[in-house]
């Protein structure tokens, strides 16, 4: 999936050190994504001339970065069993801590679409990263 992170997620990613080059960014003044045409990429989070800018990776790129940097693996699953609270909401996510091999479940929620579950998964991963950064881990 190629859905971009939201402006709020981009701001949170910058605060926890997201440093991969991407082709689009948000400016502090609005929600409009800007970027380069073609294959030109930058880390907008660390470029002085792009002050108040936030790199905009895809949700997948952000989750892969979190796995590499923090050992947190977030992934979305389609629930195929019969027992679900809402027949139309079968998507949910897991977050695994790869260093301890423990599943971290925050709020076990079901979603109507993969995209909604994917975005909420990133929010949960960011919450855990922020907790670790604030705790000095």
pTM (2 d.p.): 0.84
d(CA 125, CA 137): 15
Element spanning 55, H or E:
strand 53-55
Q: What confidence category does residue 91 fall into, taking pLDDT thresholds of 50, 70 and 90?
A: confident
Domain coordinates in residue numbering, the chain: 7-135
122 pLDDT higher than 90: yes
Q: Which residue has the higher pLDDT, 86 or 136?
A: 136
pLDDT digits (tens, 9 = 90+) for 38-55: 566 777 777 666 668 888
56 pLDDT higher than 70: yes
- Average pLDDT score over residue span 31-35: 64
């Amino acid at each position: 999936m190629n859905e971009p992170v939201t402006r709020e997620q981009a701001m949170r990613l910058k605060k926890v050190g997201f440093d991969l080059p991407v082709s689009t960014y948000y400016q502090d003044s609005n929600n409009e994504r800007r970027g380069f045409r073609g294959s030109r990429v930058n880390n907008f989070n660390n470029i002085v001339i792009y002050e108040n800018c936030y790199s905009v990776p895809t949700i997948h790129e952000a989750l892969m970065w979190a796995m590499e940097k923090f050992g947190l693996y977030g992934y979305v699953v389609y629930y195929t069993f019969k027992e679900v609270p809402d027949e139309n909401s079968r998507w949910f996510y897991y977050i695994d801590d790869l260093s301890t091999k423990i599943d971290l479940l925050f709020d076990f929620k079901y979603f109507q679409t993969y995209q909604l579950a994917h975005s909420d998964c990133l929010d949960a991963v960011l919450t855990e990263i922020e907790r670790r950064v604030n705790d000095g881990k």
